[in-house]
Amino acid sequence: MIPTKLLRSSTLRLSILHMAAFGLSVLVLLWFIYSSTAGFMERQTDETINAEIQGLAEQYGQLGLTGLIRVIKSRVAKDKNGSSVYLLTDWKFNPLAGNLPEWPKFKDTGSGWFDATLEDTEGFEPHRVRMRYFLLPGNFHLVVGRDVSERIKVERLIMDALFWGLLLTVVLGGAGGVLTSRWMLKRIDVITKASREIMNGDLTRRIPTRGAGDEFDRLAENLNAMLDQIVRLMEGVKQVSNNIAHDLRGPLNRIRSGLEMSLTRVESPEASRAVLEQTITEIDGLLQTFNALLTIAQAESGARRQDFTDIDLTSLAADAAELYEPVAEEAGLTFTLDLAPGLTVPGNRHLLSQALANLLDNAVKYTPAGGSISLTLTSGPLGVALAVADTGPGIPAEHRELVLERFTRLESSRNTPGSGLGLSLVAAAAGLHQAELTLSDNAPGLCVTLLFPASRTKS
């Protein structure tokens, strides 16, 4: 018995639909074969009868009645199997020659052709005969026919073969559809079972593959990759939540302590004012952190892409350099600028400005006095490259992916101001603009490069 789940499967319905279409095609093909074969055999019989009538008519014209009778008797004598039928009668339908005892009963169709079933007669069993009636000069009637019993048997054999062939096609098609549906359901059940376990909380569960490289394996690989990405995002959200709680707890405690101190120092307006100013500074830092988080979230979601315009990247980099060059010189750093003119990319100007400002700010912050910073903008076959390099301590290769995550700060930077969101915002901006972000060794120092693909740049 076929399971209800199998009967309801779309695979079985598609298999039945395919089988019906294929069966109809086979039926049309088999009917064409039958019609062609039976039609050819029927035409061959009629042509043989016409040829015999024409020959007998010519014999009658040359030899007369006596000669025609002699010819008919000779043909009847030679036809041992009784496959040919002859009858020559006078105007009263009295038999003169042939192997029929009497004039056959038939309905005149006007063409002279008719089919009849002959009873037991001398020389052959009852059988079906295809005949043609012909009137000779002198009012003599001639009937010539051929036994078509064998032809009918052949046609029946063909019809039987067509019937069984069609039936076999339907049976095999149905069996193939059921087997295919069972196989498909087994593969789908594996995916369904794994999905239920994942929905029940087992996020380590993955959909197994068979290594066949078929569409089910590709689907499973894509689903597993999606699950891995979901787990990474969930871990990221969890990590971000922990980092927010950890990094914001200190400022909030300081704000609370300062406010409590201001309440106890009502008699000292100057002290209360200092506490309030410090509180505002702490709140501004918190707001900057939340604004950075909001900007990163909007960039990663693609919400800022709708604001894209053609940006003169050369002008944007020059503005950033003009802002940070005095800061670098004040910190005792050498600032080098090398910008190719007229380079344009589609993007969000505010976000790119903020990302470049973060890079320059980090370079100034972590490069010791006497070092150097460079800002370069070049164009090549791969696209437009915007790079910020410094001669600071750099970032170890094993930590370069880690520092792109939110709130990540290395031990060497724990004592410097910041929230650990600067490079995260740069990474989000790079992803939004489909730019490749690379952190490399500047020997010494760090070089951060944003490569905008050639297909999205103008010059």
CATH number where 273 lies = 1.10.287.130
Same-domain pairing of 114 and 88: yes
Domain count across the chain: 3
Question: Which residue, 232, 265, 300, sits at the end of a domain?
Answer: 300
Residues 6+ apart with CB under 8 A from 75: 84, 86
pLDDT value at residue 62: 87
d(CA 245, CA 239): 10
Residues 6+ apart with CB under 8 A from 302: 432
Q: Is 348 exposed, middle or buried (0-12, 13-18, 19+ CB in 10 A)?
A: buried
Q: What is the CATH number of the domain that holds 66?
A: 3.30.450
194 part of a folded domain: no
Phi, psi of 351 (to 5 degrees): -70, -40
Same-domain pairing of 36 and 129: yes
Same-domain pairing of 312 and 287: no
pLDDT value at residue 113: 82
d(CA 196, CA 363): 49
Same-domain pairing of 312 and 294: no
Q: What is the 3-state secondary structure (H, E, C) of 4-57?
A: HHHHCCHHHHHHHHHHHHHHHHHHHHHHHHHHHHHHHHHHHHHHHHHHHHHHHH
Same-domain pairing of 139 and 53: yes
Q: Which tokens hold the place of 190?
A: 């594996």
Looking at residues 407-424, what average pLDDT do you find? 62
Structural contact between residues 354 and 407, judged by C-beta atoms closer than 8 angstroms = no
d(CA 146, CA 53): 12
d(CA 313, CA 420): 26
pLDDT value at residue 388: 93
Residue 149's nearest CA partner among 128, 179, 171, 132 is 128
110 part of a folded domain: yes
Q: Sheet containing 127-136: give its strands across.
A: 95-98, 84-89, 140-147, 127-136, 113-118
Looking at the DSSP bridge assignments, the partners of residue 312 are 344
251 part of a folded domain: yes
Name the band, by pLDDT with cuts 50, 70 and 90, for residue 414.
very low
pLDDT value at residue 386: 93
Same-domain pairing of 417 and 403: yes
Question: Which residue, 300, 331, 361, sits at the end of a domain?
Answer: 300
Label residue 82 left, alpha or beta by phi (over 0 means left) and psi (-120 to 50 means alpha).
Answer: left
Q: What is the CATH number of the domain that holds 401?
A: 3.30.565.10
158 part of a folded domain: no
pLDDT of 1 > 50? The answer is no
Radius of gyration of the chain (CA): 49
| Residues 145-189 pLDDT 10s | 888 877 777 778 878 877 887 788 778 777 777 777 777 777 777
Same-domain pairing of 35 and 144: yes
Same-domain pairing of 236 and 126: no
Residues 6+ apart with CB under 8 A from 384: 313, 343, 345, 377, 378, 451, 452, 454, 457, 459
Looking at the DSSP bridge assignments, the partners of residue 259 are none
Question: Which residue, 300, 325, 350, sits at the end of a domain?
Answer: 300
Residue 239's nearest CA partner among 425, 407, 410 is 407
d(CA 360, CA 327): 10
Helix extents (H) in 79-142: none
More confident site: 366 or 30 = 366
Structural contact between residues 130 and 45, judged by C-beta atoms closer than 8 angstroms = yes
133, 165, 244, 287, 293 from 282: Cα distances, Å: 120, 87, 15, 9, 17
Same-domain pairing of 99 and 73: yes
Same-domain pairing of 311 and 292: no
Candidate from 100-104, 291-295, 307-311, 359-363 with smallest mean pLDDT: 291-295
Core vs surface per residue 292-314: b (16+ CB within 10 A) or e: bbebbebbbeeebeeebeebbbb
184 part of a folded domain: no
Quote the domain boundaries for residue 271. Answer: 217-300
Query: Positive or negative CA dihedral for 156, 158, 160, 162?
Result: negative
Which residues of 227-355 form beta strands (DSSP E)?
309-312, 334-339, 344-347
Give the 3-state secondary structure of residue 314. Answer: helix
Give the 3-state secondary structure of residue 351. Answer: helix
| Residues 47-103 pLDDT 10s | 888 888 888 888 888 888 888 888 888 888 887 777 788 888 888 888 888 888 888
193 part of a folded domain: no
424 part of a folded domain: yes
Same-domain pairing of 225 and 263: yes
Name the band, by pLDDT with cuts 50, 70 and 90, for residue 307.
confident
Q: Provide the pairing of β-strand 344-347 with 309-312.
A: antiparallel
Helix extents (H) in 302-378: 313-330, 349-366
Distance of CA 434 to the CA centre of its chain: 25
Q: For residue 2, how many other CB atoms are within 10 A of its CB?
A: 10
d(CA 225, CA 433): 23
206 part of a folded domain: no
Structural contact between residues 290 and 247, judged by C-beta atoms closer than 8 angstroms = no
Q: Is 398 exposed, middle or buried (0-12, 13-18, 19+ CB in 10 A)?
A: exposed
| Residues 120-141 pLDDT 10s | 555 445 678 888 888 888 888 8
Same-domain pairing of 310 and 406: yes
